[in-house]
C-alpha cells in the first residue's frame, strides 16, 4: 500500500499529462474528421511536446518569465495531489484526504496565476491582452461554476470531495442525475474552463498571436504544454468525481473523463468565437439561472 | 560508452519528434501565401504529417518564405527568423526565392534568399501547388531525420557573412544583435 | 504606574514632543516618534495574557481602561503594523515637508487606536474614536493641494457615523445610567426589541463608516488614496479594523448578535445580522468590481480594502464561532497584506513619483524585493494557497456553508474570483510588461523600507504554513470575551464538520513539487538567453523606445463593458448630489436673514405676537 | 481676599468716563486702562469664586436691605459668568492695546469699558430694573462700537442693531413694568417669591415680553437678525466681545428669567425647540456664507442655540452642560474672531475665498484658527467635546432623541464649513508670497491664553465643571437663591 501510494504520487503527474495530451490528440483527430480531413495521429500532441522539449535554445525575459511554467506545473501537480483519482478499495487518493473541494477550487488558480505573471513579464502586449481577457472570462464562468459547487456542498452538507463521491454510490445517484441543474450549470462552466471554442478568446491565435504564451518557446512552451495536458486531466477528473461518482478503475476513469472531454469539444467544433463581454454575459445569463434553479431544488 | 548511448537515444527521439511535429509560422509573404490555406485545410490536410500553423516565431519551427521578398519585408523576415528557437528551418517557395524569378531585375526585391537566410529546402514552381508544398515538407522531414537540416547552425557559424549580405540591401539597419 | 495609562501617556507624549521639538531637526522628531511607538509596543507586549484594568472618574462618569484577549488581539495589529509603518516612514518621509506634523498625527492615531481597544466604557471609546478620526483626518489632508475634498468627505462621513454611534451610546446611557461595557452586556437582553434594533442600526452605521461598509464607503478610496503611503497602510490595515473591532464588540460583547426577543431568524441568524451579512457580502462583491476598474494604485487597493472588510463583516454577522474566527483571522490577514501592498505601492511611489498604473511598468528588474512583496501580497489577497489568505477564505466559506447560506456563499466566492482581476492588474501594470524609458534607472528602495515589507511577507508565509497559533489566540479571545465556544482546533489541520484542509500538507506539497520541478528544469537545460524587453514578437518589426507596448490603459475594458450596470451607479455621486441639493436648500433658507432691518423688526414683533396668541404653549 | 464687589461695576464705569480725560493727557494711557480695570475684575471674580460657591454673596448698597434696596447678588452663576466676561474682556483688552489704530481710540476704549461694565453689572445685579439699566448700558455701547468703523456697512449694521435692540428694550421695560405693577417689587428673589400669588394671565404676558426682549440679546431665532451684521461689521475685537460678553449676559438674563423669576414649565420646552431651530438655521446659513466673519457670526448663533437647548432641558446636568458650552464658546469664539480678524486684515479681503494659503504665510494665526475650529466642532480632547457631549447626553436622557439628532446634524454642517475654511488656509496655493507684517505680540498673547484655557478645560473638564455645578444648581433650584437673598439683611 505504502509503496504503491508513493509510486502513484510519482507516476500520477506523468499519467495525467499523457492522458490529457492524448485526449487533445484525439480531439484534434475528431475535429479533423468533422472537417472531412484525415487528421494527425492521436499521439500528435505528445510528439509536439517531445519536440518542444528537444528544442536547443530558449529565451527568457526575466525571472518571472523563467519561473512561470515551473510554477504553473507546480500548481497543477499540487492540484492533482489533492484530487482522488480512483475511488473504491484500490483507489488512488494521493493526499486527497488532506484537503477539500474549496482547497481544490483555489489551488487550481495557483498555476493560472503563475502563467499570467509569466505572460505579463514577457512584455508582449498580446500576452497581457490575453490575460486580461482570460481573467475577465474567468469571472464569467466562475458564476455558474461556483453556484454548482455550492449547490453540491450544501446538498451533501460537506465540502469534502470524498463525501460527495460516497454519496453517489450507484449509477442513479450520480450527481448529473441527482442534481441536474447544478450539473448543467457546471457543464457550461466547464466549456469556459477548457477554453475551447466558443470561449477561446484568450488565446485567439489569429487575433492576438496565441495570447499569453505568445513569447514562450522551447523548453518553456514544452512545460506549458505538459501542464496544459495535465490540467485538462485534473479538470476532467474533478468533474468525474463530482458528477459521476468518481471511477473505480482506470477503464471507467478513462471512459468517464473522455465523455467529459467530448462535450466541450463538440460544442467547440460547431461554434465560432465569443467576444469577451459576450462570453461573460452569456455565462451570467442562462447558466447562472439554471444554477439558481438547482439551488431552489436543494433548498426546497 | 553508456553516456553516448543515452545521448544517441535522446537524439533519435528528438529527431523523430522534430520530424513529426513541424510548426509553421504563419507568415505570409508574396503570392505563395495563398497556397498555404489549401495545404492546411480539408483538401490536402497537412496536419496529418504533424504540420500546423503557429502564431508566433517563438513557438514555430519552420519559416515559410512564400515567394518574393521585398527589402522591407526581408528585414522583418530576418527579425522573425532570429526570434525563432533552434532548431529551426527555412523553406523557400517558388522561383522567386531561388533566383528572383519574375522579379529578377526588380529594384527592391532580393533575388537569392540563400544569401540572407539559411534556406533548408527550396520548393520549385511558380507557385508550387499544395502537393508540391507537402512534398517539400516531406523532404524536409527526411532532411531532419538524416540530420542534414541544420541551416540554423549554418546561420550561427556564418553570421558575419549573412550580416554583410543583409546589410548590403537593407540600408537603415537598426536591428538588435543576434547573440546566442 | 499602571501599564495602560503609561502606554497612552507615552504615545500621546511622543506625539506632542515630536511636534514640538520636531521643529529642530529631522532625526529628532522621527526618533522621538519611533522611540515612543517602540517603547509603548514593548510595554504592550508585557500586557499579553494579563487582565489589567484602570478606572477613574471623569465628569462623574466612570472611565474604565482594561485589557483582555480581544483588545490585545487588536492591539497586536495596531502595534505590529504601527511599528513597521513607523520604520518605513523614517526613510519615506525624509526630505518631505512637515514631517513633524506627520509624526504627530501618526503617534496620535496609534495612541487613539490603542485607546479604543483598551476602552472598557463607551465614553472613552467614543472619546478616542473622535481623536482617531481627526488625527487620521490630518493625515488625509497631509498633501495640501489635492486632498481637501477627500479630507472633508472623510471627516463628514466619519462624523455622521460617530454621531450616530453617539446617539446609540447616549441612548444606552439614558437606559442604564452607565457607560461600561459590562453593564451594557448584561443589560442588553432587557431592552425592548425595537430598542435593540435601533441600537444595532445606529451602532452599525457608526462602525460601518469606519469599516467602509457599502454604501458608507465613499470616503475610503479618496482618503486612502490621499494620505501618505505608509499611513495608507495603517489606515487600511489597522484603522479600518477599529470599525471591525466595533462590530466585534457590538455583535458579541454587547450581545447584539443574539438580539434577544422575538426577531425573525434566517438560517439561525437574527434578521438584522442577516441583513448585515448581505451588506458585507455585497460590499465585498461590488467594491471588488469597482476596484478592478481603478487606474490609481492606491484607489484600487482602497476599494479592495473595502471589499475585504466586507468579508470580515460577513464573517461576524454569521454569529457563529466559525464565522467569528474567520472574520478575525481574515482581519489579521488583511492587516498583513494591505500593509505589504500599501507599503510597496508607497515604495514604488517613492521611487517613481506616480501612482497611476497606466504610467508604470516593468519595474521588476529595478525593484525585485518590492515585486516579491507585492507578489506574495496579491497571492494572499486573492486567497490562493499556500499562503495565509487561503486560510481566511477557507474559514469564511466553511462558516457560510455551515449555516447553509448558499447565496451569500456564492456572492462571497464570486467576489473572491473577481479579486484575481485587480490583483493581476496591480502587479502586472507596475512590475511586469514594458518599462517606460523614464524609469530605466529607478533603484530599489532603502532597507528601512524593504525590511518592514519583507517582514510582513515572511509573516504571511508563516501563517499560511502554521495558522494554528493565531487561531488559538482568536479562540482565547472568543471564549473569554466574546462569549462564544471557540471552534475545535488541531495543531496540524483546519477542520470542521464539513471539511478539512491541512495547511502544512498543502505548503509541503507545493514546496516539494516546486523544488523538484525547478531543480529538474534548471539542471536538464542550460541557461536560457536573456533578451531585452522589446525583443518580442511584433511581426518582425523592431519597436523603438518611443513605441508604447505596455498594455495598461483600460486594462479590463471588455470586463468593464459587462459590468457597466454596476459602474454606472455610484453612491459617491449620489451623496455628492444630495449634499449639493442640501446646500442649495440651505442657500434658499438663509434668506430668512434678509439683511433688512424692517424685516428683522417684523420678526421680533411677530415673535411676540405669536407668543401672545399661543400663551398656553408656555404654561 | 476680595474687595467689595461693587467695585467690579463702579470702577470700570468710573474709569470709562475717565478715559476721555486721560486721553487728553496721553494717547497711550487709555489703551491700558481697560487692561488694568478688567484685570481687576478678573482678579476679583476669581477671588470671590470660593465664597460664592458656598452661598450667594449679597452686597447691600446704602444699607437698604433687600427686597427694598438695590443690591448685588453674586451667586455661583453670576460669579461664573462674571469670570467668563472678565476673562474674555481682559483678553480682548490685551488684544485691543495694539489692534485699535483707528481714531478716536480713547472713545473706543471708553465704549469697550462701558460694555464690559454693563455686562458685568447684568450678571451681578439682583435687581430686575437694575438689570435693565445695565442692559441698556451694554446695548448702547454695543451700538456705538458696531458703528465704530465709520463706513456704510458699519452704520447699517449699527442701525439694525439699534432698531432691534431698542425694540427689545421696550419690551423688557414693559415686562418689568408689568411685574412691578403686579408684585410691587423689583428684587428678583422677591419677585420669584411673590409672583406665585399673581394671576398667571398677567405674568405670562410679562414673561413673553421679557423673553422677547432678552431673546434679542441672547440671539434666539428669529430675534437674531442683528447679529450677523453686527458681528461682521464691528471691529474684530468687538465681534469677539459680542460672543463672549454681550450674548453671555443676555443668556444669563434669559436663564434668570425662566428659572428663577417665573414658574412656567412650558417655557422650557419652548426654549428647547427655539434652541434647535436657532441652531439649525444658523448652521445652514453659515455654510453658505462667503465672508469669514459673517460665517463666524452665524456659527456663534448656532452655538447659542446649543446653549438654549441645554437651558431648555431644565436639569442640573443639562444646565451644567449649557454653562460649560457658554464657557467654551466664550473662549473659542474670541479666539476664532481674533485670529480671523488678523487673517482678514492680512489677506485684505473679508471673503473666505481670499484666504488661500494663509497657512503658509501666517502659520501661527492659521494654527490658532484651526485650533479654534477644531475646538468648536467638539473634537476631543478639546473642551468643546465635553460640553457638547454633556448637552447631547442630557437631551437624550430627557427623551429628546430627535432634538439630539438634529443638533448633531447641525454639528456636521458646522464641521463642513469650518473645515472648508481650514482647508483653504492650509491647502490652497497662496496667491502671492510676499512677506507681510508681524502679528502683534499682544494679539499672540491674547490668543495663546484663550487656546491654553481651551486645551486645559478639555484635558481637565472636571476642574471647570466643579465650578459650574453649583452655578447650575443655583439656577435649577431657586429656593436656595431666594432664601439667601431674602434673608441677607436679617
Give the closest of C406, C505, C559 to A136, CB-based: C559
How far does the CA of residue C365 sit from the closest CA of chain A (Å)? 8
Chain A (221-280) residues lying within 8 Å, Cβ to Cβ, of chain C? 223, 275-277, 280
What is the pLDDT confidence band of residue D436, given thresholds at 50, 70 and 90? low
Q: Which chains touch A (3 or more CB pairs under 8 A)?
A: B, C
Mutation target to probe the C interface, by most C beta carbons within 10 A, among D153, D412, D462 is D412
Task: Return the percentage of chain B with pLDDT > 90, whole number.
Answer: 0
Alpha carbon D249 to chain centroid, angstroms? 6
Determine contact, residues D53/D76, Cβ cutoff 8 Å.
yes
B110 burial via Cβ count (<10 Å: 0-12, 13-18, 19+): buried
Using the predicted structure, report yes or no on whether residue A289 has a pLDDT greater than 60.
yes
Residue D438 is predicted with a pLDDT of 64
Indicate if C130 and C158 belong to the same structural domain. yes
Q: What is the pLDDT of residues A221-258, one digit of tens each?
A: 888 889 988 988 988 888 888 888 878 788 888 888 88
Q: Answer yes or no: do C409 and A62 touch at CB < 8 A.
A: no
Indicate if C558 and C588 belong to the same structural domain. no
Number of domains making up chain B? 1
Give the closest of C513, C537, C550 to A215, CB-based: C537
In C60-74, which positions are buried (b, 16+ CB within 10 angstroms) versus exposed (e)? ebbbbbbbbbbbbbb
Give domain limits for chain D.
285-459
How far does the CA of residue B65 sit from the closest CA of chain C (Å)? 13
* Interface membership of C606 toward D (CB under 8 Å): yes
Domain that holds residue B29: 2-169
Residues contacting residue C33 through CB under 8 Å, at least 6 positions apart:
C14, C15, C18, C86, C103, C104, C106, C107
Phi, psi of C58 (to 5 degrees): -135, 125
Give the closest of B14, B16, B55 to A210, CB-based: B55
Indicate if C452 and C586 belong to the same structural domain. no
Nearest to C556 by CA among C197, C290, C210, C174: C290
Dihedral Cα C418, C420, C422, C428, nearest 10 deg: -150
Number of domains making up chain C? 3
What is the pLDDT confidence band of residue C248, given thresholds at 50, 70 and 90? confident
Q: What is the pLDDT of residues B70-96, one digit of tens each?
A: 888 888 888 888 888 888 888 888 888
| Within a domain: B15 | yes
Strand partners, B53: B24
Phi, psi of B63 (to 5 degrees): -105, 120
What is the pLDDT confidence band of residue C1, given thresholds at 50, 70 and 90? low
Residues of chain A found within 8 Å of residue B23, distances taken between Cβ atoms: 48
Residue C321 is predicted with a pLDDT of 83
How far does the CA of residue C532 sit from the closest CA of chain B (Å)? 9
User: What integer best gives the mean pLDDT of chain D?
Assistant: 83
Residue C86 is predicted with a pLDDT of 87
Determine contact, residues C236/C308, Cβ cutoff 8 Å.
no
Determine contact, residues D213/D169, Cβ cutoff 8 Å.
yes
Q: Answer yes or no: do B79 and C529 touch at CB < 8 A.
A: no
Q: What is the pLDDT of residues C176-198, one digit of tens each?
A: 888 888 888 888 777 888 888 88
pTM as predicted:
0.90
| Within a domain: C155 | yes
Residue C257 is predicted with a pLDDT of 67
Using the predicted structure, report yes or no on whether residue A97 has a pLDDT greater than 80.
no
* Interface membership of C532 toward B (CB under 8 Å): yes
What is the pLDDT confidence band of residue B28, given thresholds at 50, 70 and 90? confident
Indicate if C481 and C588 belong to the same structural domain. no
Residue C14 is predicted with a pLDDT of 84
* Interface membership of C619 toward D (CB under 8 Å): yes
Residues of chain A found within 8 Å of residue C390, distances taken between Cβ atoms: 103, 106
Residue C542 is predicted with a pLDDT of 79
Q: What is the CA radius of gyration of chain B?
A: 16
Using the predicted structure, report yes or no on whether residue D360 has a pLDDT greater than 80.
no
Q: Summarize the confidence of residues B38-55 as an average pLDDT.
A: 85
Residues contacting residue C270 through CB under 8 Å, at least 6 positions apart:
C257, C258, C259, C263, C264, C319
Indicate if C438 and C415 belong to the same structural domain. yes
Using the predicted structure, report yes or no on whether residue C475 has a pLDDT greater than 60.
yes
Residue B60 is predicted with a pLDDT of 86
* Interface membership of C9 toward D (CB under 8 Å): no
Instruction: CATH number of the domain at B21, please.
Output: 3.40.50.12280
Task: State how beta strands C61-66 and C265-266 pair.
Answer: unpaired
How many Å apart are CA D93 and CA A231, to the nearest integer? Answer: 85
| Within a domain: B45 | yes
Using the predicted structure, report yes or no on whether residue C260 has a pLDDT greater than 60.
no
| Within a domain: C79 | yes
Which chain A residue shows the shortest CA-CA distance from C431?
A121
Q: What is the pLDDT of residues C198-235, one digit of tens each?
A: 888 888 888 888 888 888 888 888 888 888 888 888 88
Q: Answer yes or no: do C167 and D374 touch at CB < 8 A.
A: no
N- to C-terminal Cα separation, chain B: 30
Determine contact, residues C213/C309, Cβ cutoff 8 Å.
yes
Chains A and C lie in contact, requiring 3 or more CB pairs less than 8 Å apart: yes
Residues contacting residue D151 through CB under 8 Å, at least 6 positions apart:
none
Q: What angle do CA D60, D64, D65 make, to 5 degrees?
A: 70
D199 burial via Cβ count (<10 Å: 0-12, 13-18, 19+): exposed
How many Å apart are CA C178 and CA C162, to the nearest integer? Answer: 19
Q: Residue C253 carries which DSSP code?
A: I
Using the predicted structure, report yes or no on whether residue B2 has a pLDDT greater than 60.
no
Indicate if C245 and C351 belong to the same structural domain. no
Q: Answer yes or no: do C540 and B176 touch at CB < 8 A.
A: no
What is the pLDDT confidence band of residue D434, given thresholds at 50, 70 and 90? low
Q: What is the pLDDT of residues B166-180, one digit of tens each?
A: 888 888 877 777 765
How many Å apart are CA B158 and CA B160, to the nearest integer? Answer: 5
Q: Answer yes or no: do C170 and D397 touch at CB < 8 A.
A: yes
Determine contact, residues B137/B51, Cβ cutoff 8 Å.
yes
Q: Answer yes or no: do A38 and B45 touch at CB < 8 A.
A: yes
Residue with cell 495694539: D98
Give the closest of A44, A55, A213 to B85, CB-based: A55
Q: How many residues does chain D have?
A: 490
Q: Which chains touch C (3 or more CB pairs under 8 A)?
A: A, B, D
On the CB side of D236, CA atoms within 13 Å amount to 23
Using the predicted structure, report yes or no on whether residue C392 has a pLDDT greater than 70.
yes
Give the closest of D160, D209, D397 to C597, CB-based: D160
Q: Summarize the confidence of residues D181-203 as an average pLDDT.
A: 82
Residue C263 is predicted with a pLDDT of 67
Residue A56 is predicted with a pLDDT of 82
How far does the CA of residue C486 sit from the closest CA of chain B (Å)? 55
Interface contacts A/C by beta carbons within 8 Å: 233
Classified as helix, coil or strand, B62 is: strand
Using the predicted structure, report yes or no on whether residue C261 has a pLDDT greater than 60.
no
Using the predicted structure, report yes or no on whether residue D433 has a pLDDT greater than 60.
no
Predicted ipTM?
A: 0.86
Give the helix ranges, DSSP H, for C93-147.
Answer: 99-118, 122-140
Indicate if C558 and C575 belong to the same structural domain. no
Residue C145 is predicted with a pLDDT of 65
Residue D489 is predicted with a pLDDT of 58
Residue D363 is predicted with a pLDDT of 77
Residues contacting residue C29 through CB under 8 Å, at least 6 positions apart:
C18, C19, C21, C22, C99, C100, C103
Nearest to A40 by CA among A50, A27, A51, A29: A29
User: What integer best gives the mean pLDDT of chain B?
Assistant: 84
Q: What is the pLDDT of residues D72-117, one digit of tens each?
A: 888 888 888 888 888 888 888 888 887 776 667 778 888 888 888 8
Strand partners, C62: C57
* Interface membership of B28 toward A (CB under 8 Å): no
All three cell numbers of C402, joined, read: 455551515
Q: Summarize the confidence of residues D265-286 as an average pLDDT.
A: 87
Indicate if C4 and C120 belong to the same structural domain. yes
Amino acid at each position: 500500500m505504502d509503496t504503491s501510494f508513493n509510486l502513484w504520487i510519482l507516476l500520477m503527474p506523468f499519467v495525467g499529462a499523457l492522458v490529457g495530451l492524448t485526449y487533445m490528440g484525439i480531439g484534434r483527430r475528431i475535429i479533423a474528421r468533422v472537417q472531412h480531413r484525415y487528421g494527425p495521429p492521436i499521439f500528435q500532441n505528445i510528439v509536439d511536446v517531445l519536440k518542444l522539449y528537444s528544442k536547443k535554445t530558449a529565451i527568457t525575459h526575466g525571472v518571472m518569465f523563467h519561473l512561470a511554467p515551473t510554477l504553473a506545473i507546480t500548481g497543477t501537480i499540487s492540484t492533482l495531489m489533492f484530487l482522488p483519482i480512483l475511488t473504491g478499495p484500490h483507489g488512488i487518493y494521493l493526499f486527497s484526504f488532506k484537503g477539500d473541494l474549496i482547497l481544490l477550487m483555489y489551488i487550481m488558480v495557483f498555476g493560472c496565476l503563475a502563467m499570467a505573471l509569466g505572460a505579463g513579464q514577457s512584455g508582449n502586449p498580446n500576452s497581457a491582452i490575453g490575460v486580461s481577457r482570460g481573467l475577465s472570462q474567468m469571472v464569467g464562468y466562475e458564476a455558474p461554476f461556483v453556484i454548482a459547487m455550492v449547490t453540491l456542498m450544501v446538498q451533501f452538507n460537506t465540502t469534502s470531495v470524498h463525501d460527495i463521491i460516497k454519496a453517489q454510490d450507484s449509477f442513479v445517484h450520480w450527481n448529473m442525475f441527482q442534481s441536474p441543474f447544478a450539473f448543467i450549470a457546471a457543464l457550461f462552466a466547464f466549456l469556459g474552463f477548457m477554453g475551447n471554442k466558443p470561449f477561446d478568446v484568450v488565446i485567439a491565435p489569429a487575433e492576438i498571436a496565441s495570447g499569453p504564451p505568445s513569447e514562450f518557446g522551447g523548453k518553456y512552451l514544452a512545460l506549458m504544454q505538459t501542464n496544459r495536458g495535465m490540467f485538462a486531466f485534473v479538470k476532467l477528473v474533478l468533474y468525474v468525481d463530482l458528477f459521476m461518482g468518481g471511477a473505480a478503475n482506470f477503464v471507467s476513469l478513462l471512459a468517464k473523463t473522455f465523455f467529459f472531454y467530448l462535450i466541450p469539444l463538440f460544442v467547440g467544433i460547431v461554434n465560432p468565437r465569443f467576444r469577451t463581454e459576450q462570453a461573460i454575459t452569456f455565462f451570467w445569463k442562462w447558466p447562472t439561472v439554471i444554477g439558481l434553479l438547482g439551488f431552489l431544488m436543494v433548498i426546497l | 560508452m553508456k553516456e553516448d548511448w543515452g545521448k544517441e537515444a535522446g537524439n533519435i527521439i528528438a529527431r523523430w519528434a522534430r520530424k513529426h511535429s513541424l510548426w509553421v509560422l504563419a507568415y505570409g509573404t508574396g503570392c505563395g501565401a495563398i497556397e498555404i490555406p489549401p495545404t492546411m485545410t480539408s483538401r490536402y490536410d497537412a496536419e496529418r504529417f504533424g504540420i500546423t500553423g503557429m502564431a508566433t516565431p517563438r513557438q514555430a519551427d519552420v519559416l515559410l518564405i512564400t515567394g518574393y521578398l521585398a527589402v522591407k519585408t526581408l528585414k522583418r523576415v530576418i527579425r522573425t527568423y532570429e526570434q525563432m528557437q533552434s532548431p529551426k528551418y527555412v523553406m523557400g517557395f517558388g522561383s522567386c526565392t531561388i533566383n528572383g524569378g519574375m522579379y529578377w531585375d526588380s529594384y527592391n526585391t532580393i533575388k537569392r534568399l540563400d544569401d540572407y537566410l539559411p534556406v533548408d529546402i527550396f520548393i520549385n514552381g511558380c507557385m508550387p501547388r499544395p502537393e508540391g508544398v507537402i512534398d517539400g515538407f516531406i523532404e524536409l522531414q527526411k532532411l531532419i531525420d538524416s540530420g542534414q537540416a541544420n541551416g540554423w547552425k549554418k546561420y550561427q557559424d556564418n553570421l558575419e557573412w549573412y550580416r554583410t549580405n543583409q546589410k548590403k540591401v537593407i540600408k537603415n539597419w537598426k536591428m538588435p544583435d543576434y547573440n546566442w | 504606574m499602571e501599564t495602560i495609562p503609561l502606554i497612552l501617556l507615552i504615545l500621546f507624549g511622543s506625539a506632542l514632543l515630536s511636534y514640538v521639538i520636531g521643529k529642530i531637526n529631522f532625526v529628532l522628531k522621527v526618533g522621538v516618534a519611533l522611540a515612543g511607538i517602540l517603547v509603548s509596543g514593548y510595554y504592550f507586549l508585557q500586557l499579553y495574557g494579563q487582565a489589567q484594568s484602570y478606572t477613574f472618574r471623569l465628569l462623574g462618569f466612570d472611565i474604565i481602561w482594561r485589557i483582555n484577549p480581544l483588545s490585545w488581539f487588536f492591539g497586536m495589529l495596531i502595534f505590529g503594523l504601527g511599528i513597521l509603518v513607523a520604520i518605513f516612514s523614517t526613510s519615506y518621509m525624509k526630505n518631505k515637508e512637515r514631517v513633524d506634523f506627520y509624526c504627530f498625527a501618526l503617534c496620535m492615531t496609534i495612541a487613539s487606536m490603542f485607546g479604543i481597544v483598551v476602552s472598557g466604557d463607551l465614553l472613552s471609546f467614543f472619546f478616542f474614536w473622535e481623536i482617531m478620526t481627526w488625527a487620521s483626518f490630518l493625515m488625509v489632508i497631509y498633501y495640501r493641494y489635492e486632498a481637501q475634498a477627500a479630507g472633508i468627505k472623510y471627516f463628514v462621513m466619519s462624523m455622521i457615523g460617530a454621531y450616530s454611534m453617539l446617539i446609540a451610546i447616549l441612548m444606552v446611557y439614558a437606559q442604564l445610567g452607565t457607560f461600561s461595557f459590562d453593564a451594557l452586556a448584561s443589560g442588553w437582553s432587557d431592552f425592548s426589541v425595537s430598542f435593540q434594533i435601533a441600537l444595532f442600526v445606529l451602532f452599525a452605521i457608526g462602525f460601518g463608516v469606519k469599516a467602509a461598509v457599502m454604501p458608507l464607503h465613499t470616503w475610503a478610496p479618496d482618503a486612502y488614496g490621499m494620505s501618505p503611503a505608509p499611513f495608507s497602510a495603517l489606515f487600511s490595515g489597522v484603522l479600518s479594523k477599529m470599525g471591525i473591532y466595533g462590530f466585534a464588540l457590538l455583535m458579541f460583547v454587547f450581545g447584539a448578535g443574539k438580539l434577544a426577543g422575538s426577531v425573525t431568524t434566517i438560517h439561525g441568524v437574527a434578521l438584522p445580522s442577516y441583513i448585515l451579512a448581505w451588506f458585507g457580502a455585497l460590499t465585498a462583491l461590488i467594491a471588488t468590481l469597482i476596484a478592478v476598474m481603478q487606474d490609481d494604485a492606491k484607489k484600487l487597493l482602497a476599494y479592495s480594502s473595502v471589499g475585504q472588510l466586507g468579508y470580515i463583516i460577513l464573517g461576524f454577522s454569521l454569529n457563529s464561532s466559525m464565522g467569528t474566527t474567520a472574520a478575525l483571522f481574515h482581519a489579521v490577514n488583511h492587516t498583513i497584506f494591505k500593509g505589504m501592498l500599501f507599503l510597496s505601492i508607497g515604495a514604488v511611489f517613492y521611487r517613481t513619483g506616480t501612482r497611476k498604473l497606466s504610467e508604470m511598468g516593468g519595474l521588476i528588474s529595478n525593484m525585485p524585493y518590492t515585486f516579491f512583496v507585492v507578489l506574495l501580497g496579491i497571492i494572499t489577497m486573492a486567497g490562493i494557497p499556500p499562503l495565509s489568505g487561503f486560510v481566511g477564505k477557507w474559514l469564511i466559506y466553511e462558516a457560510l456553508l455551515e449555516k447553509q447560506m448558499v447565496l451569500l456563499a456564492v456572492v462571497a466566492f464570486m467576489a473572491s474570483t473577481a479579486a484575481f482581476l485587480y490583483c493581476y492588474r496591480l502587479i502586472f501594470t507596475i512590475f511586469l510588461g514594458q518599462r517606460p524609458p523614464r524609469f530605466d534607472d529607478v533603484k530599489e528602495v532603502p532597507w528601512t523600507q524593504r525590511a518592514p515589507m519583507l517582514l510582513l511577507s515572511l509573516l504571511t508565509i508563516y501563517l499560511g504554513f502554521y495558522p494554528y497559533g493565531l487561531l488559538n489566540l482568536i479562540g482565547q479571545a472568543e471564549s473569554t470575551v466574546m462569549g462564544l465556544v471557540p471552534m475545535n482546533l488541531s495543531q496540524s489541520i483546519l477542520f470542521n464538520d464539513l471539511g478539512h484542509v491541512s495547511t502544512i500538507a498543502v505548503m509541503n506539497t507545493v514546496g516539494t513539487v516546486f523544488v523538484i520541478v525547478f531543480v529538474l528544469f534548471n539542471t536538464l537545460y542550460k541557461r536560457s538567453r536573456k533578451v531585452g524587453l522589446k525583443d518580442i514578437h511584433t511581426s518582425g518589426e523592431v519597436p523603438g523606445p518611443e513605441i508604447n507596448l505596455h498594455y495598461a490603459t483600460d486594462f479590463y475594458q471588455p470586463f468593464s463593458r459587462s459590468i457597466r450596470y454596476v459602474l454606472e451607479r455610484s453612491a459617491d455621486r449620489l451623496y455628492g448630489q444630495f449634499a449639493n441639493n442640501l446646500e442649495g436648500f440651505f442657500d434658499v433658507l438663509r434668506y430668512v436673514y434678509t439683511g433688512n432691518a424692517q424685516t428683522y423688526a417684523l420678526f421680533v414683533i411677530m415673535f411676540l405676537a405669536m407668543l401672545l396668541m399661543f400663551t398656553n404653549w408656555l404654561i | 481676599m476680595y474687595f467689595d464687589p461693587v467695585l467690579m461695576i463702579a470702577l470700570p464705569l468710573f474709569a470709562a468716563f475717565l478715559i476721555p480725560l486721560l486721553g487728553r493727557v496721553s494717547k497711550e494711557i487709555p489703551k491700558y486702562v481697560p487692561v488694568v480695570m478688567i484685570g481687576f475684575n478678573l482678579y476679583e471674580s476669581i477671588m470671590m469664586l470660593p465664597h460664592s460657591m458656598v452661598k450667594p454673596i449679597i452686597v447691600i448698597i446704602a444699607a437698604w436691605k433687600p427686597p427694598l434696596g438695590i443690591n448685588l447678588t453674586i451667586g455661583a452663576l453670576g460669579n461664573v459668568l462674571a469670570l467668563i466676561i472678565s476673562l474674555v474682556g481682559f483678553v480682548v483688552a490685551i488684544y485691543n492695546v495694539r489692534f485699535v489704530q483707528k481714531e478716536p481710540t480713547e472713545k473706543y476704549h471708553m465704549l469697550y469699558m462701558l460694555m464690559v461694565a454693563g455686562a458685568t453689572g447684568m450678571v451681578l445685579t439682583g435687581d430686575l430694573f437694575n438689570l435693565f439699566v445695565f442692559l441698556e448700558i451694554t446695548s448702547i455701547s454695543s451700538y456705538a462700537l458696531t458703528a465704530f468703523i465709520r463706513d456704510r456697512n458699519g452704520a447699517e449694521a449699527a442701525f439694525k442693531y439699534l432698531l432691534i435692540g431698542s425694540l427689545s428694550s421696550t419690551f423688557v421695560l414693559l415686562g418689568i413694568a408689568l411685574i412691578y405693577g403686579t408684585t410691587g417689587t423689583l428684587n428678583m428673589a422677591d419677585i420669584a417669591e411673590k409672583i406665585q400669588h399673581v394671576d398667571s394671565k398677567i405674568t405670562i404676558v410679562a414673561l413673553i415680553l421679557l423673553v422677547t426682549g432678552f431673546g434679542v440679546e441672547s440671539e434666539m431665532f428669529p430675534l437674531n437678525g442683528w447679529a450677523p451684521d453686527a458681528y461682521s461689521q464691528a471691529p474684530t475685537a468687538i465681534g469677539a466681545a459680542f460672543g463672549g460678553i454681550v450674548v453671555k449676559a443676555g443668556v444669563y438674563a434669559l436663564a434668570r428669567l425662566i428659572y428663577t423669576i417665573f414658574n412656567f414649565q412650558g417655557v422650557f420646552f419652548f426654549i428647547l425647540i427655539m434652541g434647535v431651530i436657532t441652531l439649525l438655521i444658523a448652521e445652514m446659513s453659515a455654510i453658505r456664507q462667503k465672508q469669514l466673519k459673517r460665517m463666524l457670526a452665524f456659527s456663534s448663533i448656532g452655538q447659542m442655540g446649543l446653549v438654549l437647548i441645554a437651558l431648555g432641558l431644565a436639569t442640573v446636568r443639562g444646565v451644567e452642560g449649557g454653562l460649560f458650552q457658554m464657557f467654551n464658546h466664550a473662549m473659542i469664539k474670541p479666539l476664532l474672531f481674533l485670529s480671523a480678524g488678523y487673517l482678514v486684515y492680512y489677506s485684505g479681503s473679508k471673503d473666505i475665498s481670499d484666504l488661500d494659503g494663509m497657512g503658509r504665510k501666517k502659520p501661527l494665526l492659521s494654527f490658532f484658527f484651526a485650533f479654534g475650529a477644531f475646538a468648536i466642532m467638539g473634537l476631543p480632547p478639546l473642551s468643546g467635546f465635553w460640553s457638547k457631549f454633556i448637552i447631547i447626553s442630557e437631551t437624550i436622557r430627557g427623551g429628546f432623541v430627535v432634538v439630539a439628532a438634529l443638533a448633531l446634524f447641525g454639528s456636521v454642517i458646522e464641521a463642513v464649513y469650518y473645515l472648508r475654511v481650514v482647508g483653504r488656509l492650509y491647502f490652497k496655493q497662496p496667491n502671492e508670497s510676499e512677506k507681510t507684517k508681524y502679528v502683534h505680540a499682544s494679539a499672540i498673547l491674547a490668543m495663546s491664553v484663550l487656546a491654553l484655557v481651551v486645551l486645559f478645560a478639555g484635558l481637565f473638564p472636571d476642574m471647570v465643571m466643579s465650578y459650574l455645578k453649583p452655578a447650575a444648581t443655583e439656577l435649577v433650584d431657586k429656593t436656595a437663591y431666594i432664601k439667601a437673598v431674602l434673608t441677607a439683611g436679617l
